[in-house]
Structure 1
Amino acid sequence: MLHLRLITPSDKTDSVVRLIEKTVGATHLVVMQGAARNPAGDVVMCDVAREAGDELLGELRELEIDKCGSIAIENIDLSLSERADKARDDAPGEGADAVLWEHLADATHEESTLSFTYIAFITLATMIAACGVVLDNAILIVGAMAVGPEFGPLAGLCTALVRRAPRLALRSAMALLVGFAFAMAVTVVFSYFMDSIELFSREQLDAERPNTAFVYAPDAFSFIVAVLAGIAGTLSLTSAKSGLLVGVAISVTTVPAAANAAVALSYGDTKQTWGSTEQLLLNLLGIILAGTLTLLAQKFFWAKQRERDAKKAQA
């Protein structure tokens, strides 16, 4: 269930209340007239089943409540109410399958912002991965994958393509390009420093590395795993199961590939540099393709589900 808290101008409150009352899956309606001060207006609250949330949000935005008032949404972890149970039963479809497009757009917009925090995390992750590839240490590689924040802008790019949002697409692409370019540049300098204090060496890079050699040897599995991870990551975002993103992060080799390319570049090893770059691009392409197709499939099947439910209601 979702909890909605709205601030509405007094002249629109009746329209909002009627909209909520006719929404299948909405319950626990509360209206507090004149309770809001900034902006001035009424406060309207209700609970709504997740599967009915996206349609209700769209209609509230058509009333321009987001412009003249406020729309706040919270997830309800526990609701002990027979009315809430009935609302979930009456709402069409399953809550786990519902996509809150406004929530997804807002979340990916925040995660794809080229901020100091984003740059810091992707740079630190790449430097950790650099230590992992030189030492052939799989634990460091997994740790770097978990730290890397690159799935945020990848999800933002997928969302932008489906929703045809050029600003979000540009923001996400910039975060990816600038983030990886900066992280790799810093890692090249880091590699020079580690070599100067004799912690990195060309011999370590050229030696057999059974645990980490995959980061510069792309093959069909590299793309297949990226596609599967892209599907899993997108589903975890749209179903509000963000905890699964850690598993997605350690399934792909974007950050380790970037790190190996940077270290190889510092030693002038063009073969490993190009191999790692190909691995990076294959992973990015696979995730973007899979994420976009997953969102399109969810949009299509959810629309079909709503059509079937509407026909049943009319029968």
Structure 2
Amino acid sequence: MLHLRVISPSERSGEVLRILGGEPGATHVTLGLAAAVDPPGDVIQAEVARGSLNDVLAALTALDLSRTGGISFVPSGTVISDAKERADTAAPKRRDRTVVWAQLLDQMREGARLTPTFLTFLAIAILLSAVGVTTASPLTLVGAMVVGPEFLPLAALSVGLVRRDTRLIRTSVRTLAISFPVAMVVTWLATLLWVRLGWIGVGNVEDARAFDFIYQVGPFSLVVALLAGAAGMLAVVSSTSAVLVGVFISVTTVPAAGLAVVAAFAGKWHIALSSLAQLSVNLMGIVLAGVAVLLLFQRADR
């Protein structure tokens, strides 16, 4: 269940109550007359089954409440009530087949933004990848995969494509197009410093056969990216954050970017280009899988 809270102008409150009263998946409806101060109006609250929330939000939005009042919702937590059980049972759609699109879009708009924090995390992840490659440290590479924040703008791009949200698409593409080159330039400068200090060597990059999976593009490069993208989108939709760690470790986006920088620094251009190809395949596979998962949910929602 989700706890719905509506601030409604007094003249609209009757319509809001009729919407909630006519929705079998809504219960525990309460009304606070003139309880809201800014914006002024009545406060109407209810517990709504997840399978009913999209319909309720669509009806409330049609009343222009987003402009004249406000609509918010959060997980209800534990609700002990026979009325709640009846509402859950009466909801037109099952919980596991329902995507609350308003919630997902809001989450993705936040995750798609290019922020200093996002750029810092990506730069740190690619720096760790460069260290892992040059020191032949698989653990450092795994750490780089976990630190990498690139999944959220990729998921946001998938959502934007499915919902035809051009603003979200532009924001996601902009974040990816700017952040990866900037983080890779930072890694190039750091590699230059480390080589001059004698901390690392890049001459044996071509012989690092243990890291073939990072830059050699093969059929499973796309398969793994598709599987990881599907699992990641399912985790986002179902709010199962623990699964995302496995998704981060499965794909080689950040390690491929780090190896591309080190290989280019060493003049091993075929490895650098192959790493960039691996990076592209992973990015594309994650987005395509995310789109496919969301289309399935959208079809089930209809």
Scaled to the shorter chain, the TM-score interval is: over 0.9
Q: C-alpha separation between the residues in 1 aligned to 2:47 and 2:31?
A: 13
Deviation, 1:302, is: 2.2
Would you say the 8 A contact 2:111–2:152 is kept in 1? yes
Superposed counterparts of 1:180-259, under 5 Å? 180-210=180-210, 212-259=211-258
Q: Deviations over 1:67-87 (max 9, x none)?
A: 111111101232222211111
- What is the TM-score with the length of structure 2 in the denominator? 0.97
Partner residue in 2 for 1:116: 116
Q: C-alpha separation between the residues in 2 aligned to 1:195 and 1:75?
A: 51
User: Does 256-265 or 135-144 show the bigger shift?
Assistant: 135-144
Partner residue in 2 for 1:53: 53
Would you say the 8 A contact 1:135–1:204 is kept in 2? no
Q: C-alpha separation between the residues in 2 aligned to 1:11 and 1:50?
A: 27
Superposed counterparts of 1:220-299, under 5 Å? 220-299=219-298
Secondary structure at 2:203's aligned position in 1?
helix
Partner residue in 2 for 1:176: 176
Deviation, 1:262, is: 1.1
Would you say the 8 A contact 1:112–1:156 is kept in 2? yes
Would you say the 8 A contact 1:261–1:274 is kept in 2? yes
Would you say the 8 A contact 2:4–2:47 is kept in 1? yes
Deviation, 1:214, is: 1.1
Superposed counterparts of 1:37-186, under 5 Å? 37-186=37-186
User: Does 88-97 or 31-40 show the bigger shift?
Assistant: 88-97
Q: C-alpha separation between the residues in 2 aligned to 1:239 and 1:97?
A: 10
Would you say the 8 A contact 2:7–2:70 is kept in 1? yes
Partner residue in 2 for 1:310: none
Aligned-residue Cα RMSD (Å) equals 1.1
Tell me how many residue pairs correspond in the alignment.
302
Q: Any unmatched runs of 5+ in structure 2?
A: none
Q: Aligned letter for 1:15?
A: E
Partner residue in 1 for 2:9: 9
Q: Aligned letter for 1:64?
A: D
Would you say the 8 A contact 1:230–1:286 is kept in 2? yes
Would you say the 8 A contact 1:97–1:239 is kept in 2? no
Q: C-alpha separation between the residues in 2 aligned to 1:235 and 1:26?
A: 26
- What is the TM-score with the length of structure 1 in the denominator? 0.93
Deviation, 1:96, is: 1.8
Q: Aligned letter for 2:101?
A: W
Provide the identity percentage. Answer: 38
Deviation, 1:54, is: 1.3
Deviation, 1:131, is: 1.0
Q: Deviations over 1:208-253 (max 9, x none)?
A: 341x221111111010000011111111111222332111111111
Q: C-alpha separation between the residues in 1 aligned to 2:104 and 2:259?
A: 33
Secondary structure at 2:79's aligned position in 1?
coil
Q: Deviations over 1:85-136 (max 9, x none)?
A: 1111111232122101111111010001011111111111111111112222
